[in-house]
Chains A and B, each alone.
Chain A
């Protein structure tokens, strides 16, 4: 039995680090929490999760779960939540959890709060703070009923320490023959990259509309990111124009990042983009328009043509 069940996401080799940040909220909520991981061939991933202070690591390991199909996954997650008697089902905001957890919430007949930034206690009951309207407003939400589903913003919660005495891993058994079968996995784009993951990187370099095409984008944005051993991001305008793949998009409707250093190249600073970068420690903006809104929130702003500035910057970093 566990008060809270935390869904952990993985890439088949490792648990995704941002998905561990939900554990920090589970600790703040108090009570026992179990971790749940679904997939196929999970032994090593499960073993890597035993020291996070959970009462158990539940492992739903089955060929039918080899691909994250929402209908099957939600069914298994809900069964696990019921068996644990969990009042709170938790995950970290990502396209994986956004796909699966609202479906699980409906099956649990429970309301859901997306993108929790913090919990607040008012009159002995807990409410949740979350961003709305592209992060321009923070709302405090009260939830009724005894069950709820939450996703957290990884950037708003610290990584949990892995220093607890190891807990047991339990195989979570379910009837695979009764899983829904209306969804079939066909393929996933394979793109090898030596760059760090966007949501985990210490440095992120992003490019906007004036990067023109794939080649220029890769040479300037990719080149600067490599010089700094950082990740590459993009605005919606750059993704729409096919300069960068969709998973590079940062912002309200893309990824949320909070690196030590964020460098915005030719980015105007629309609120939809700023929503995804606000919590970065240092923001550098390079833009030829001195009135670009991005300068109002950049720690350091440099006015000028990125086509001249970026090669100089790469050169300077490489030389030092």
Chain B
């Protein structure tokens, strides 16, 4: 079985957490949900169910560092689609469709959302464009029937749901699927020598133009800092009196 894992490079979400606000130049990392997708592909290969894992990302050469990280985790082969524009999810989905038609994987595993843009669209759009089944927000994957189907547990608003999907299919990952391994230094050194295949949209014969553009950005209004209370009684009094919420 061949597994394709698309991944995105994003500002490190833990940087922003530490600083309390986005730092001026946070370092880039593989989107955490995509890292979970890579980890899952590795585990599938380690159980002997996959023969090859292909990682793909879209961007300029700056994202090569995250490609190295994916290779160091254990991805067999990496492709960078060279496009430095500010793409929207639909444009990304159309580019990935072209690559998937070329690579013909049995299953595509990817993050449910990128933590910078928070759109949660690409996997589902890709499934729609390809006419493939989809299992989104997945916390467990098992292959069935000689790997012609997958049984997936999904994290939904109403709790866990189980679906069976025919392959090829798109699976998007949620947080509980696994805990990604750490990249070892020797792994990183070895990954430096692995080649990265670079493709252009022209080579993939796909012309896309983003249909959404960001006109401006702003900071949301801050909540005013509140009051400290010293006891449970004082808290209750505030909630009853001042806040009128009890």
Contacts and interface: CB of A to CB of B under 8 A. Distances in A.
Which residue among B88, B132, B139, B216 has the maximum number of chain A CB atoms within 10 Å of its CB? B216
A112 B232 contact: no
Interface residues of B, number: 84
Contact of A139 (B90, B129, B217): B217
Contacts of A293: 20
A240 B175 CA distance: 8
Contacts of B123: 102
A270 B17 contact: yes
A310 to B, nearest CB: 9
A134 B227 contact: no
Contacts of A94: 157
B225 A296 contact: yes
Given A240-B175, A245-B159, A180 B133 contact: yes
Which residue among A104, A106, A180, A283 has the maximum number of chain B CB atoms within 10 Å of its CB? A106
Contacts of B220: 131, 135-138, 278
A69 interface: yes
A301 B126 contact: no
Given A96-B157, A183-B134, A313 B232 contact: yes
B124 A99 contact: yes
Contact of A247 (B159, B165, B225, B239): B159
B158 A11 contact: yes
Interface stretch (A140-148, A161-169, A214-222): A140-148
A19 to B, nearest CB: 11
A82 interface: no
A301 B229 contact: yes
A11 B134 CA distance: 22
B115 A252 contact: yes
A42 to B, nearest CB: 18
Nearest to B164: A184
B21 interface: yes
B24 interface: no
A78 to B, nearest CB: 9
A255 B158 CA distance: 11
B128 A141 contact: no
A90 to B, nearest CB: 15
Given A133-B116, A246-B139, A253-B174, 11 more contacts: A69-B163, A95-B155, A112-B121, A112-B125, A135-B220, A140-B217, A182-B132, A261-B243, A283-B223, A300-B228, A316-B232
Interface of B: 11, 13, 16-17, 20-22, 33, 88-90, 93, 112-113, 115-129, 131-137, 139, 151, 154-166, 169, 174-176, 210-220, 222-223, 225-233, 235-236, 238-239, 243, 245-246
30 contacts: A70-B134, A95-B136, A96-B157, A98-B124, A106-B90, A107-B128, A111-B89, A112-B119, A114-B119, A133-B11, A133-B16, A134-B16, A134-B118, A137-B218, A141-B215, A144-B211, A185-B161, A188-B160, A188-B161, A189-B160, A245-B159, A247-B159, A253-B113, A282-B245, A298-B226, A300-B227, A300-B229, A301-B228, A302-B235, A313-B236
